[in-house]
Amino acid sequence: MSVATNEFAQPASSDEFDFPDPQRYDDVESKQRRIAEFLAQKRYDALLLRTPANFAWLTSGAVGPRRGGETPAAALFITPDARVVATNNVDATQLFDKQLGGLGFQLKQRPWHEDPQILLGDLCRGRKVASDVCDPMTVLEEGALSSLRLPLTSVECARLRELGGLVAHAVEATARHVMAGQTEQEIAGELAHRLVRHEVEPVWLRAVADGRGGQYRHWTASPSPLVRWCLIGAIGRRHGLCCGCMRTVVLGSPPEGLISTYQQASMLAATGMFFSQAGNRLATVWQKLHRIYEKQGLSDEWQLADQADVIGYQPSEVTLVPASDFELRPGMALHWHPSVGPVQTGDTVLVHQQGEHLLTKPVDWPMVTITVKGRAMQLPDLLIREAGSSSSDLP
């Protein structure tokens, strides 16, 4: 087995070198301790991580390179005492120069033209290894590994707060600029541009015009033009973490029933957010939400679409379903996106010990007040613009 070590030339100036972040190093260390406890409990010798979500999680935000298709070009091999990056000679330098330098990772590399399974086989041989993908050399532990990613660390929570603001800004700026006659795909493209310019990867984009989402609840975008109103939304990823947001813009007078339906959807969202409390099981949150559906005369509406997801390094770490025993804890985030007919709201909240925090808080956006259990909650309302106008105050 060939082993390569990192030997870097001295940088010409400090501006050319990314110094390691002590908080990020501590974040990686804490995650290795989680893994060490998992390995001891399950009596494994090592853990092999190959999915992008787990690569970003353990490295505290690094983006693993890809070499053709969806196959990552780097994997992580972790023991209780070491963390190793297994990759090829093409990607190794960029990874350690730009993303992993100073974080305590060792490097084992092979030539780019060699099958990466050879290196991984050498690492796994003679060991009992858990993994996040199906592989004959390892034991699949996908469910257990998903739970290791939650709750989020303090570093991750800070990053998610920043990401929430960036995603909300991009969605709202797009809504301010849409014009009648634009296609849904053009609107989605503008949204993608705003995300990318702020180093946010578009994971999922929506531009659903004139009620098309009523029949197709997961509609994204099409060549059809916008006429009167549009639902605009995105899930963006930065440092490996995901955050979702959705807003609705109306050009001219709202269609009949749109305002009342939006209020119904907002009541569902507010209820879900209010009960997104530490210690509550998702089944308990679901019961509160279902009661609001029934009170609003929408007892069967919930069956037509999913309602919310625990969000993190995956757009859906855990999906809210009626019988889920999953317990919410501080440091977990939920992307709420309930729908009523063609109307849907979307925001992400972070669970605290004493409640929740809205990560995708609107800025200079119409708000609606929803009262839940005596608590007044401010949520985004419809943005109603004059037909043919657009705002130019935001890029």
Intervals of CATH 3.90.230.10 along the chain: 154-385
Fold category of 154-385 in CATH: Creatine Amidinohydrolase (3.90.230)
CA gyration radius for the chain? 23
* Cα distances (angstroms) measured from residue 264 to each of 27, 217, 258, 293: 41, 16, 10, 9
Q: Which residue has the tokens 């063609």?
A: 342
CB atoms within 10 A of CB 41: 9
Q: Per residue of the chain (395 residues), what is the pLDDT tens digit?
A: 333 334 333 333 323 335 568 999 999 999 999 999 999 999 999 999 999 999 999 999 998 877 666 678 899 999 999 999 999 999 999 999 999 999 999 999 999 999 999 999 999 999 999 999 999 999 999 889 989 999 999 999 999 999 999 999 999 999 999 999 999 999 999 999 999 999 999 999 999 999 999 999 999 999 999 999 999 999 999 999 999 999 999 999 999 999 999 999 999 999 999 999 999 999 999 999 999 999 999 999 999 999 999 999 999 999 999 999 999 999 999 999 999 999 999 999 999 988 889 999 999 999 999 999 999 999 999 999 987 655 443 34
3-state secondary structure 5-25: CCCCCCCCCHHHCCCCCHHHH
The DSSP symbol for 276 reads: -
* Topology classification of domain 14-148: Creatine Amidinohydrolase; Chain A, domain 1 (3.40.350)
β pairing state of 343-344 and 347-352: unpaired
- pLDDT tens digits along 184-214: 999 999 999 999 999 999 999 999 999 999 9
Three-state DSSP class for residue 288: helix
* pTM given for the model: 0.91
pLDDT tens by residue, 302-320 = 999 999 999 999 999 999 9
Q: Which two tokens stand for residue 36?
A: 């060490």
Residue with tokens 């800004």: 169
Domain with CATH 3.40.350.10 in the chain: 14-148
How much is the pLDDT for 4? Answer: 38
CA-to-CA dists, residue 110 to 97, 114, 220, 349, 369, angstroms: 18, 7, 41, 43, 59
